[in-house]
Chain A
Amino acid sequence: MKKIEAIVQPFKLDEVKEALQAIGVEGMTISEVRGHGRQKGHKEVYRGQEYTVDLLPKVKIELVVPDGRVDEVTRTVVEAARTGKIGDGKIFVLDVVEAIRIRNDDRGESVL
């Protein structure tokens, strides 16, 4: 099993979700996050006061899939989230040791 963490532009969330649902991925966790990679922040001025916006809003999508589906899922996310510009985000793939369904203590891939 692998965990896929995708950090994408907020306005791409709906498209990514739909694309994942289209290939049969239903379960995911979504959080509103802030951060920056190479896309650094910038200065804003409002009413004469200057402030720096260095952490930009992003959305983090987390899902766990069987090993065999990793390529398909990451490809889907990349295609749906890409605009080609700086700030499109990143995907990280991590190993998952175990999955447990709390309700009935089921274990392994059947939980996904």
Chain B
Amino acid sequence: MAMPDFNATTDALISLAERAGAVDRVVWEAAAELLFPAVPEGLAVLAAGGYGRRQLFPFSDVDLLLLCRNEEVPRENKPAISAFLQELWDSGLRVSQSVRTPAECLEVHDHNIELNISLLDQRFLAGDRPLFAGLSKKFPRFVQSNRDALMRNLVRLTRERHGKYADTFYHLEPNVKETPGGLRDYQFVHWMEQLRDADANRVTSPEAPPELQQAFRFLARLRISLHAQAGRDQNVLTFDAQDSLADSSEGKDTARWMREYYRQSRTVSRAALRSLEAWDAQSSALFAQFVGWRSRLSNADFAVHRERVHFRIPQQLESDPDVVLRLFEFVARHGIRPSSEAVNQMEPRLGRLRDHFAEPRNLWPAINQILSLNFAPLAVRSMHETGVLFALFPDLEQIECLVVRDFYHRYTVDEHTLVAMQNACSAPAGYGEILQELPRRGALLFALLFHDAGKAASDPARGYEGHVDASLRVAELAMQRIQMPPQDRDLVSFLIRSHLELSSAIRSRDLSDPKTIHDVAQIVGTEERLKALTVLTYADISAVNPGAMTPWRSEQLWQLYLKVSRELTRELAAERIAETSAGPAAELIEGLPVRYLRTHSEAEIAEHVALEERSRTRGAAVDVRSLESAWQLTVITGDRPGLFARMAGTLAGFGMNILRAEAFSNSRGQVLDTFVFADPSRTLELNASEVDRLRSTAERVILGKVEVLDLLRNRPRPKPPSRRVRVPATIRFDSEASATATLVEIVAYDRPGLLYDLASAISSRGGNIEIVLIDTQAHRAIDVFYVTVDGKKLSADQQTAMGEVLHQACGAV
């Protein structure tokens, strides 16, 4: 199946005009023979729409307007008009005619705005010329005085059309006329300019910028050849059509050919979006007020004007290219897109930006910041649109406009990636909640950005086998270059490597079989990873096409998450590190939960061994160190009653907020407690001596030389939370989850000192804390304690008593 027309058509505009000219002649002849002998005056035949502007596609409708002096004319001359139209149909034209008086042409038709718009392109063909002259004299004033209504209706139609195509031009089988970025959008831009510029005397026809004209010519050539091939008004660029077009192109590469299509379509789409935005900006008074308020967000680097971000000093792009990262951080923070000017200022410098970012250096904090903020998906989308994303990560260019051809995928790979990031951040109900609880959202989004990056390097014919490994390679190079710390890197690699595991478990494994759950738990290893992988899987599946994440499938994924989460909780108490190779580490780690090995690197284990050695002489050893954005305190000592509560209290006494904590004991009765905490008043950072004081105070508290209550006495009590963010505390006891202890799960509004109060409450009822896992996210503390009383699980009475004191502790402010 060859489609020579695409390449043979050197200039689409000439072909279209020739077609219009040929139709003109048919209309003239038919009118001269059948119409005007009967109606010598009072009737004019006009060309409208695409035909009117001499852009008539081979099988498009031929829009004719029969302009009649009054309503009598068509009534009295019905036979002649019918014979005329019949003749046109018989000559093979698909005529779409309307019969109007000049007055009807000069009123706004809210329900048929197409009629008003088609008149923008009116052209006299034959008949009563003075009648036409009368209309064309009045038409500009009509447009001028009804400008707003016409534009509003046109914008509404365009938005509705875009909505039908999910507001994206990255469709695998796009409709070259109707999809965003299609021919209709080009016309939309043109009409909006005509409407905007019209004055009382004339409706002008402004010339489009060269790149837009070029895109139009490309799309027009394409539509001509689709028509020629189908023999009818067929505008969908089907897979078959793509193949045959590529076949007759240089290189015969369909993927490459389609990229060219998307690039041209993107030019049109952007112009249409700019036009829509310009309309929004001028149309609403409320919007203007809001925009004024938003402009207060401006800072030293950026100004916000009309809901767009501008560079204050564009020359900064030369002297300080990292300003582009700050620009997208601004976008990610406030949800405001870069202005067209900013985009135009960056564009010529993309090559230099690419060189600038190519040098390996520590870019992760800046990128992580962008990816961790609320509007991260919008920021990445703008980076993609402006090309900055490819300057930063050139390897991602491989998936730009890359087509995946199967029945399920609706978008190109890059669009799928962007939609997936969007879905992750707007995930509903349960999924949204676990996203909130994720400590490293930046790493999750980074993994999503790269999860399909290897698709270009794998074979579509073999189901993209190997794309996971290829994506992993691309991501690893990128992570190395931006110097991502090992912890985040591990998470990203894990997520990319495993991004199909959960969906494949749902598809092919029995979720009610404990073996399935155990296997998945082995793959994910920790609760944190499970949460990140669950959100990623949700986002990935729902970005395949709008209907892919059915409620049915979403439930399956959620069930899998719950079951694996429970398995990991059970395993925490039940599965201990048993056989270890001999060596200094063996004595320390034997008997710790297997989780310990999954969450600690060899270097960290070696440090714990050294700490344990130090603890031998003094009975306890404490290490305090600064992490990237928080601090960490590690304790090793023999087990003592109330130890965990006292450590939590010590940190509260120093004004620290505990973010995460773990407490484990090994076979020899040694306790390893780890606290990750924030230092809100930067005491430790600004006073090096305070770090030593915290360390020695902690040791003295452990050894009983200092009372925690004395430390806490002088701390100001925190203010109660505002009602809006308050989380009702839930406390749940579970004696089934673990073989040896009762699990106490507490979700409560977080506040300084909460952990100390909870742990003290447990100790006050004789509870011994065996294992602790603490996490906090966005005002919420999620605490899991494994508690025994006298070495046994809690009885029902003990649970009730402990529940009461814990409820008091949650509410105690």
Contact = CB atoms under 8 A, between A and B. Distances in A.
Contacts of B510: 9, 11, 83, 85
Contacts of B559: 44, 53
Interface string B510-529: 11100000000000000000
A14 B555 CA distance: 19
A32 interface: yes
B506 A48 contact: no
A49 interface: yes
Contacts of B734: 45
Interface string B728-768: 00111010000000000101000000000000000000000
Contacts of A47: 730, 745, 747
Contacts of B550: 32
B552 interface: yes
A101 to B, nearest CB: 22
Interface residues of B, number: 21
Interface residues of A, number: 19
A10 B747 contact: no
A34 B552 contact: yes
A30 to B, nearest CB: 12
Contact of A14 (B430, B508, B562): B508
Contacts of A11: 506-511
Contact of B506 (A10, A33, A44, A85): A10
A83 B511 CA distance: 13
A57 B552 contact: yes
Contact of B553 (A32, A44, A46, A87): A32
A48 B562 contact: no
A48 B509 contact: no
A48 B747 contact: yes
Contacts of A46: 430, 562
A31 to B, nearest CB: 9
Contacts of A48: 730-732, 745, 747
A47 B565 CA distance: 11
Nearest to B430: A46
B559 to A, nearest CB: 7
B732 A45 contact: yes
B9 interface: no
Which has the most chain B C-beta neighbours within 10 Å: A34, A48, A85? A48
A10 B731 contact: no
Interface in A2-58: 9-11, 13-14, 32-34, 44-49, 53, 57
B556 interface: yes
A108 B745 CA distance: 63
Interface string B495-513: 0000000000011111110
A10 B730 contact: no
Contacts of B730: 47-49
Task: Output the residue of B508, B509, B734 with the most chain A CB within 10 A.
Answer: B508
Nearest to B552: A32
Contacts of B732: 45, 48
Q: Which 9 A-B pairs have the closest CB atoms?
A: A48-B730, A32-B552, A48-B732, A11-B508, A11-B509, A11-B510, A57-B556, A47-B747, A57-B552
Interface of A: 9-11, 13-14, 32-34, 44-49, 53, 57, 83, 85, 87
Given A32-B550, A34-B552, A47-B745, 12 more contacts: A10-B556, A11-B509, A13-B507, A33-B552, A44-B562, A48-B745, A49-B730, A57-B552, A83-B510, A85-B510, A85-B512, A87-B512
25 contacts: A10-B506, A10-B507, A10-B556, A11-B507, A11-B508, A11-B510, A13-B507, A32-B550, A32-B552, A33-B552, A44-B559, A44-B562, A45-B734, A46-B430, A47-B730, A47-B747, A48-B731, A48-B732, A48-B745, A48-B747, A49-B730, A53-B559, A57-B552, A57-B555, A85-B510
